[in-house]
């Protein structure tokens, strides 16, 4: 099978049929063998009924139905598990992404040997309240992930080699960072293609509001942290803790020695507990010990985690 097209959707009843017909047109005119996997993420409208109807007449249409709304990332994850095509395409169900891009994306993966290609909505048809935060977000994501050539991390339209989707775990709201996930899994050839973007034809966006902004940054932070210190927490906490402890310990000695020195030389001196530095050093030692212990406990947890030996093995012969 050439192509698997994974489409997560939440209450998109107006567009599903039209979208499928468009995809079918493109697939047939290019002679692709394909499947379309609609992942119904707990829609409360008639989306699932429409998917069932499509499935009844088109064997290419497959559907996964969640009992409740889990979010776009879990939907993608389950779609990825099912995908059989050599190239896996993801796109949104709201017809903001154009199926006409698929053949070119396919070519980039197969002929130019990209691991994944991300769409870039160079000209966007979304309100400013969406595009402005996105600019900031993309700049940060570029810095943190080290994938310098991507302008648009969160574009719904992407293409992957089948390998890639089977070896990344999209959870929580991590769909925003799939390129980063792919990179952490060792897939380095990540490309970009400018794609057409349309204004939403039906319904409204499912990602409005401010929490999208904060959650997005927190997710990026945890990804960065996981990829750097996920299996070696001691390298972060242990180092920080030790430094703080040593700093506190030395300061306390200096405070003590200064007092003794002044005492024996008949100079004015004050009690160690009268000096603010004493308390600062004490705090530093306590925090240092706690950081160290946090790192140590982290190590103990990772040693027991079922994922500690989840390595990316590319081939076994
Ligand atoms: N979506 C989903 N589950 C959710 C929210 C959204 O499957 O909980 C789907 C949605 O139906 C659409 C895609 O994710 O197909 C992108 O959502 P949307 O178009 O609302 O996001 P935007 O384009 O505004 O960023
Ligand atoms: Mg959209």
Q: Please, what is the average pLDDT of the chain?
A: 92
The Cα 256–Cα 259 span in angstroms is 5
| Ligand 1 atom nearest to 75, measured from its CA | 7
* Residue whose CA is at the smallest distance from ligand 1 atom 9: 9
pLDDT-derived band of residue 128, with 50, 70 and 90 as boundaries? confident
Please give the number of the atom of ligand 1 that sits closest to the Cα of 7.
15
pLDDT for 162: 97
- Return the closest-CA partner of residue 86 out of 178, 167, 4: 4
Indicate the pTM of the whole model. 0.84
Residue 39 has a pLDDT of: 96
pLDDT, one tens digit per residue, over 77-120 is: 999 999 999 999 999 999 999 999 999 999 999 999 999 999 99
Mean pLDDT of 203-230: 85
Q: Rounded to the nearest whole angstrom, what is the distance from the C-alpha of residue 300 to the centroid of ligand 2?
A: 43
Please say whether the beta carbons of 74 and 44 come within 8 A.
no
Q: Which ligand is nearest to the CA of 204?
A: 1
Nearest-atom index, ligand 1, CA of 204: 20
- Cβ < 6 Å from ligand 1: which residues? 8-10, 12, 41, 69, 71-72, 75, 92-94, 96, 156, 205-207
Average confidence (pLDDT) over 234-246: 95
Going by alpha carbons, the residue nearest to atom 10 of ligand 1 is: 9
Span 170-206, pLDDT tens digits: 988 889 999 999 999 999 999 999 999 998 888 888 8
Ligand 1 atom nearest 12 alpha carbon: 11
- Going by alpha carbons, the residue nearest to atom 8 of ligand 1 is 71
- Which residues have a Cβ under 8 Å from the Cβ of 254 and sit 6 or more positions away? 277
What pLDDT shows up at residue 172? 83
Q: How far apart are CA 227 and CA 177, in angstroms?
A: 13
pLDDT the model gives residue 134: 87
CB atoms within 10 A of CB 144: 16
**Which of 206, 211, 213, 216 maximizes ligand 1 atoms within 8 Å of its Cβ, making it the mutation to test the pocket?**
206
Q: Categorize the per-residue pLDDT at 314 as very low, low, confident or very high, splitting at 50, 70 and 90.
A: low
Identify the band that residue 213 occupies on the pLDDT scale cut at 50, 70 and 90.
confident
Looking at the chain, the whole-number percentage of residues with pLDDT higher than 90 is 74
Query: How much is the pLDDT for 195?
Result: 95
- The pLDDT value recorded for residue 313 is 67
pLDDT in tens, 296-313: 999 898 888 777 666 666
Reply yes or no on whether the pLDDT at 208 is more than 80: no
The mean pLDDT value for 280-288 works out to 96
């Amino acid at each position: 099978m050439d192509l698997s097209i994974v489409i997560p959707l939440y209450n998109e009843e107006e567009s599903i049929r039209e979208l499928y017909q468009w995809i079918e047109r493109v697939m047939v005119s290019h002679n692709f063998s394909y499947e379309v996997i609609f992942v119904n993420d707990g829609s409360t409208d008639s989306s699932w009924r429409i998917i069932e109807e499509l499935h009844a007449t088109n064997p290419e249409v497959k559907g996964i139905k969640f009992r409740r709304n889990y979010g776009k990332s879990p939907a993608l994850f389950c779609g990825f598990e099912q995908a059989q095509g050599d190239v896996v395409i993801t796109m949104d169900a709201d017809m903001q992404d154009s199926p006409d891009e698929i053949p070119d994306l396919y070519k980039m993966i197969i002929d130019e040997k990209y691991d994944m290609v991300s769409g870039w909505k160079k000209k966007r048809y979304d309100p400013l309240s969406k595009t402005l935060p996105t600019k900031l977000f993309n700049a940060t994501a570029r810095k943190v992930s080290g994938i310098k050539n991507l302008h648009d991390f969160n574009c719904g339209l992407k293409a992957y080699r089948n390998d890639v989707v089977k070896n990344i775990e999209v959870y929580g709201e991590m769909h925003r960072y799939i390129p980063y996930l792919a990179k952490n899994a060792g897939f380095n050839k990540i490309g970009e293609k400018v794609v057409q973007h349309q204004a939403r034809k039906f319904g409204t966006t499912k990602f409005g509001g401010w929490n999208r902004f904060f959650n997005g940054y927190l997710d990026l932070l945890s990804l960065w942290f996981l990829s750097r210190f996920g299996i070696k927490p001691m390298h972060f906490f242990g180092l920080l803790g030790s430094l703080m402890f040593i700093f506190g310990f030395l300061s306390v000695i200096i405070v003590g020695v200064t007092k003794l020195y002044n005492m024996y030389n008949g100079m004015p001196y004050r009690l160690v507990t009268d000096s603010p530095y004493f308390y600062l050093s004490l705090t530093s030692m306590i925090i240092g010990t706690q950081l160290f212990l946090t790192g140590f406990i982290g190590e103990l947890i990772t040693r027991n985690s079922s994922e500690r030996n989840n390595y990316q093995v590319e081939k076994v012969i």
